[in-house]
Amino acid sequence: MYFEAHASYFILPSHMIPFATSLFDGPAKTWWVHKQLDYWVGTGPSPHRFRYLTWEEFINIVNEQFRDPTAMEMQEKKMFDLRMTNSPATTFFQKLEVLATKAGRRHDTDA
């Protein structure tokens, strides 16, 4: 990932999120222009400030907006259909982790 390769430049979410959103185009760019208005805070005569999201919050709202639920369901089905064969357990768990990530179930704790 780009952020891992250039970690010294992206220490804070206030660096990562503007860079990531600068790569948005079309509907994603339009969505972000309107969505970021939700993160301005302040009342009264004092200047309003932009409340930066955490990287995890940012990834979650982008996924909620743009991830295709049909594709996630297909990956989830593949995940549940996955069987351990003669392969080593590490191979099985690596495949399971990839499918769980694609299905949006990477950090699920519910059965």
In terms of domains, do 56 and 90 share one? no
Tokens of 15: 């660096």
pLDDT digits (tens, 9 = 90+) for 51-97: 888 888 898 899 888 877 777 777 777 777 777 677 777 777 777 77
In terms of domains, do 45 and 28 share one? yes
In terms of domains, do 57 and 78 share one? no
> Residue 45 belongs to what domain range?
1-66
In terms of domains, do 4 and 50 share one? yes
pLDDT digits (tens, 9 = 90+) for 6-40: 666 667 777 888 888 999 999 999 999 999 888 88
In terms of domains, do 56 and 76 share one? no
In terms of domains, do 34 and 81 share one? no
From 49, 66, 83, give the residue that closes a domain. Answer: 66
3-state secondary structure the chain: CHHHHCHHHCCCHHHHHHHHHHCCCCHHHHHHHHHHHHHEECCCCCCCEECCCCHHHHHHHHHHHHCCHHHHHHHHHHHHHCCCCCCCHHHHHHHHHHHHHHCCCCCCCCC
Whole-prediction pTM: 0.55
